[in-house]
Amino acid sequence: MHTNKTILVTGGAGYIGSHTCIKLLEAGYDVVVLDNFSNSSPEALRRVESLAGRPTTLVQGDINDHALLARLFGAHKIDAVIHFAGLKAVGESVEQPLRYYHNNVTGTLALCQAMQTAGVFNLVFSSSATVYGDPASLPIREDFATGATNPYGRSKLIIEEILSDLHRSAPEWNLALLRYFNPVGAHPSGRIGEDPSDIPNNLMPYIAQVAVGRRDHLSVFGSDYDTKDGTGVRDYIHVQDLAEGHVKALEWLDRKEGLKAINLGTGTGYSVLEMLKAFEKACGKPLPYKLVDRRPGDIASCYADPAMARDVLGWSAKLGLEAMCEDAWRWQRDNPKGYE
Ligand code: NAD
Ligand code: UDP
């Protein structure tokens, strides 16, 4: 199958981007990747191509490079952009706010300017459940109040507002703001997955590194939350399901319904200890952990109301906790040092 459509994927070599590129190639789209490899490896794209059996076009560079963007849109007839490129480490964003705002916010401005000049008005943007801050109730619906507690989250909120202004200014823009919950897991082949360059901040890659012997134990951040077992509850979503959600979002853009913010989550919350138990089952061994203090800024529970994605995109998550852990473990076991 071939769609005759070309999608620009910024950040396409990254964790979510690489899985999405495979789904796009499989769905018949041509793919141009723009990535500066600040948090990824060209090897991920080589594996994407070998898994999908089709090539991508790589443009190596920065979304803040106006001249490069102009050349890219001049050389390729782009139908839509999926914009993953961004920095995502919350703690680092507190220490380096200017770097985060420049990369994420100014970079998105540069991208949108280049799109407008080229007459490309279809954009899927990677937002995050972090824009809900500490929600007043659960599950979280898209019409809930937003608020950010750190520069990373604020960069996502600011971009959402900029994109809303853009849509108000010119109705030809079609914009899907996808608010991801907690992406985990890997491609079932075990060939691509999440490859944090530093000590992982996120739960699942940390557990996976304990399982493979790179870390000696998991620190469970807080055991006195008002949750089922006292540990934090999140809505973990398989990256394969998430990738599929982007293909559905492209189809929605074609219906030209303007701008929408849409949750991509499963609607089910699991605690830290439930995640640990499920991973122990997948890797077949007990994993050491210690209960420690809460991590500053963390909330007790967060999970999505996924109804809008179902109704608007015709998408819902299919893969459960077992597949998330089995696939994450296969990737970590077969690539103990990631793409290195
Ligand atoms: P990632 O770091 O693996 O991927 C991001 C990619 O963008 C990397 O390949 C990086 O090299 C590239 N990049 C960063 N800045 C760039 C720039 N200025 N120019 C060109 N390329 C650049 O992250 P991910 O987990 O795949 O996340 C993708 C997007 O989804 C990000 O915008 C992130 O904020 C958002 N998101 C991620 C999560 C999560 O938990 N993984 C949750 C919610 C939202
Ligand atoms: N968490 C933990 N130990 C870790 C990393 C995370 O106990 O080493 C907990 C964290 O407190 C939260 C859950 O795991 O309750 C998910 O954290 P993550 O950073 O992956 O996602 P986020 O907090 O952004 O939702």
pLDDT in tens, 190-219: 999 999 988 999 999 999 999 999 999 999
Query: For 73-132, how does the pLDDT look when each residue is reduced to its tens digit (9 = 90+)?
Result: 999 999 999 999 999 999 999 999 999 999 999 999 999 999 999 999 999 999 999 999
Q: What is the pTM of this model?
A: 0.98
The atom number, within ligand 1, closest to the CA of 107 reads 18
pLDDT at position 277 is 98
Cβ < 6 A, ligand 1 pocket = 10-11, 13-17, 34-40, 62-64, 84-88, 103, 107, 126, 128, 180, 183
Q: Name the fold adopted by 6-188+236-267+305-318.
A: Rossmann fold (3.40.50)
pLDDT higher than 80, residue 140: yes
Domain ranges of the chain: 6-188+236-267+305-318
To the nearest whole percent, how much of the chain has pLDDT over 90?
A: 97
pLDDT value, residue 3: 83
- Average pLDDT (226-238) is 98
The catalytic site residues sit at 152
Q: Which ligand is nearest to the CA of 91?
A: 2
Residues with CB under 6 A from ligand 2: 182, 201-203, 206, 218-221, 232, 234, 272, 295, 298
Measured in Å, residue 201 CA sits from the centre of ligand 2 at 7
The widest CA-to-CA distance across the chain, in whole angstroms, is: 56
Residue 2 has pLDDT above 90, yes or no: no
> Is pLDDT above 90 for 340?
no
**Which is the closest atom of ligand 2 to the Cα of 295?**
11
